[in-house]
């Protein structure tokens, strides 16, 4: 991850260039996307390769062709596949049958490409991860899960504050704790103030993720008090920055004031999706 982040920083500063002509990245997206889809397309374009939209509604995937058949066929045409889907096990099934690398472009369980851009943004701010305390306030969802895993690999203190019943996946937390040299670095609490106090990265994501549209009302009630607002930010360190993977629901998980504030690095974070994924593609194609 450190190597990828260093490479991404060099790509961003235009200190290093890679060309992968004739290489193709297939994009299978079962859910909507702006940042992930477009940043992968532009990154591949910058590498002089191409992307192919393999939209499930326009291909035999939508008709239910088994993943094991699709994956084997696409492995012949494409050099890489990026997949955004619901069940994490479907992604694993693709990876099992594909002979080419499969990139997780978000599942219900994880969003690792987002975490790469997040830690690049954090590194740009603090130079290293030594004294970083990341407080994620919100749902123990895919984004929180990937922050835990990536934080564990990098030795960063990650605190997740979520309402009771919305904690991160237990198995994933166990895995993150087994990776971490000091398992006390990963903390789960139901108190946003406890997480925010003494932190220098405040991070949030939507309360209801894609596929949870029918849970909106129930979750809006459960997450009352978990908004990143002026009051919560004042409890963090003076040097604290604010992150959000976007898209955001203003005045639910975060106020418009905090998105626009001087502490916000949210649009730098979105930009970093491009550089970190270009680094990832370069590594996988080399």
Binding footprint of ligand CP on the chain (CB under 6 A): 33-36, 106, 114, 245-247
- Of 139, 273, 275, 277, the catalytic one is 273
Closest to 51 (Cα-Cα) out of 85, 32, 77, 12: 77
- Are 30 and 54 spatial neighbours (Cβ–Cβ below 8 Å)? no
Query: Count of CB atoms within 10 A of residue 271's CB?
Result: 17
Using CB under 6 A, which residues numbered 239 to 258 contact ligand NVA?
245
The span from the CA of 268 to the CA of 272, in Å, is 6
Residue 230 falls in the annotated catalytic set: no
The span from the CA of 238 to the CA of 198, in Å, is 9
Angle between helix 88-97 and helix 67-77 axes, rounded to 10 deg: 50
Q: Are strands 241-244 and 201-204 parallel, antiparallel or unpaired?
A: parallel
The span from the CA of 107 to the CA of 273, in Å, is 17
Residue 180 falls in the annotated catalytic set: no
Cβ closest to ligand CP, residue 31 vs residue 263: 31
- Of 244, 245, 265, 269, the catalytic one is 245
Using CB under 6 A, which residues numbered 66 to 105 contact ligand NVA?
none
How far apart are CB 208 and ligand CP at their closest, in Å?
Answer: 14
- Of 35, 111, 244, 275, the catalytic one is 111
Based on the shown chain and the rule CB under 6 A, indicate whether residue 141 belongs to the binding site for ligand NVA: yes
Residue 275 falls in the annotated catalytic set: no
Based on the shown chain and the rule CB under 6 A, indicate whether residue 209 belongs to the binding site for ligand NVA: yes
State the catalytic residues: 84, 111, 114, 205, 245, 273
Applying CB under 6 A, the residues found at the interface with ligand NVA are 106, 141-143, 205-206, 209-210, 245
């Amino acid at each position: 991850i450190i190597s990828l982040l260093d490479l991404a920083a060099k790509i961003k500063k235009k200190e290093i260039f890679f060309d992968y002509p004739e290489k193709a990245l297939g994009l299978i997206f079962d859910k909507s996307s702006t940042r992930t889809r477009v940043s992968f397309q532009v990154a591949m374009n910058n590498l002089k390769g191409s992307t192919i939209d393999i939209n499930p509604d326009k291909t035999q995937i939508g008709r239910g062709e088994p993943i094991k058949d699709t994956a084997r066929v696409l492995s012949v045409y494409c050099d890489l596949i990026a997949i955004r889907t619901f069940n994490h096990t479907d992604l694993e099934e693709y990876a099992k049958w594909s002979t080419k690398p499969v990139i997780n472009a978000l599942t219900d369980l994880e969003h690792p490409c987002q975490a790469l851009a997040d830690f690049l943004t954090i590194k740009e701010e603090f130079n290293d991860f030594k004294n970083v305390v990341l407080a994620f306030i919100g749902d123990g969802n895919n984004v929180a899960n990937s922050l835990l895993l990536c934080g564990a690999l990098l030795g960063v203190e990650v605190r997740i504050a979520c309402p009771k019943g919305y904690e991160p996946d237990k198995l994933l937390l166990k895995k993150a704790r087994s990776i971490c040299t000091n398992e006390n670095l990963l903390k789960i609490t139901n108190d946003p103030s406890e997480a925010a106090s003494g932190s220098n990265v405040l991070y949030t994501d939507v309360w209801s993720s894609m596929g949870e549209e029918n849970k909106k009302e129930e979750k809006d009630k459960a997450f009352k008090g978990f908004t990143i607002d002026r009051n919560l930010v004042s409890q963090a360190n003076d040097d604290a920055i604010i992150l959000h993977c976007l898209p955001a629901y203003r005045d639910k998980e975060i106020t418009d004031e905090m998105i626009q504030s001087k502490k916000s690095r949210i649009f730098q974070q979105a930009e970093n999706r491009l550089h970190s994924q270009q680094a990832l593609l370069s590594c996988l194609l080399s």
